């Protein structure tokens, strides 16, 4: 099964993708994570993407589609893919169709997390992750069971994203509205779009997703 999690920054895509990895053995393919890894490694892609990401704008369609193609090639068959943060433009949605066909995969569901934009700034500015394993947390909504210790790997090191500040978040939301939301009708025409309440608590969102995947 291959699915897209769609929603503005902070909607909860990464949180739910991590759970689907743990519970269903699917694989999260996050172009944001891939780009951050490229920035950290100082690759040519990373050098090109760094400033664009810091501004909250979109990296070129060509770069992100190549990253997705390479990840799917490396994955081989077997695990289902969760596309998180990709596609983000109509051009990327078209590329994804071609890439999936190339790898013998089909798209089963597009799940849109509907959220109230006013809540997103609070979600994003409170977000942090384990520096060792990448597990996601929030200052208020998802604290580690023991303060300062990662639930999953026990690490005491955490990090925050440089683009998780209010100003950049506003740009990222505007990019979502202008360029990403318009791709939904393409998938609606195929009858594979499901909308769920992304403002519900994390467990309730996971349940709604599980129901869709069981349908």
Q: Which of 50, 88, 123, 127 binds ligand AMP (CB under 6 A)?
A: 88
Q: Which of 19, 36, 50, 127 is catalytic?
A: 127
- Give the count of residues interacting with ligand AMP (CB under 6 A): 16
Between CA 62 and CA 49 the distance in angstroms is 12
Which sign does the torsion angle of CA 94, 98, 103, 106 carry? positive
C-alpha to C-alpha distances, 180 to 15, 80, 130, 146, nearest whole angstrom: 20, 23, 28, 37
160 is an active site residue: no
* Widest Cα–Cα separation across the chain: 47
Q: Which of 24, 161, 170, 179 is catalytic?
A: 161
Find, among 11, 34, 6, the residue nearest to 93 by Cα. 6
- Residue nearest ligand AMP by beta-carbon distance: 32
Site for ligand ADP contains 56 (CB under 6 A): no
Site for ligand AMP contains 205 (CB under 6 A): no
Tokens of 141: 């909504």
C-beta separation of 67 from 34 below 8 A = yes
Residues 136-195 binding ligand AMP (CB under 6 A) are 172
User: Site residues (CB under 6 A) for ligand AMP?
Assistant: 9, 31-32, 35, 52-53, 56-59, 64, 85-86, 88, 92, 172
User: Site residues (CB under 6 A) for ligand ADP?
Assistant: 7, 9-15, 123-124, 126-127, 136-138, 141-142, 201-202, 205
């Amino acid at each position: 099964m291959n699915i897209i999690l769609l929603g503005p920054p902070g909607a909860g895509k990464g949180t739910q993708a991590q759970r689907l990895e743990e519970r269903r053995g699917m694989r999260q393919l996050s172009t944001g994570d891939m780009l951050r890894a490229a920035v950290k490694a100082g690759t040519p892609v990373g050098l090109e993407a760094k400033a664009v990401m810091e501004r909250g704008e979109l990296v070129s369609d060509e770069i992100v589609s190549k990253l997705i193609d390479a990840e799917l090639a490396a994955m081989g068959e077997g695990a289902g893919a969760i596309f998180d943060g990709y596609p983000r433009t109509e051009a990327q949605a078209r590329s994804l169709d071609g890439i999936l066909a190339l790898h013998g995969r089909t798209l089963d569901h597009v799940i849109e997390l509907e959220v109230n934009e006013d809540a997103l700034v609070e979600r994003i500015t409170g977000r942090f992750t384990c520096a060792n394993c990448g597990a996601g947390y929030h200052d208020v909504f998802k604290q580690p069971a023991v303060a300062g210790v990662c639930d999953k790997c026990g690490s005491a090191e955490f990090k925050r994203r440089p683009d998780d500040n209010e100003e950049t978040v506003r740009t990222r939301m505007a990019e979502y509205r202008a360029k990403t939301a318009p791709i939904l009708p393409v998938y609606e025409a195929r009858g594979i779009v499901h909308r769920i309440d992304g403002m519900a608590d994390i467990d309730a969102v996971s349940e709604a997703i599980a129901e869709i995947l069981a349908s």
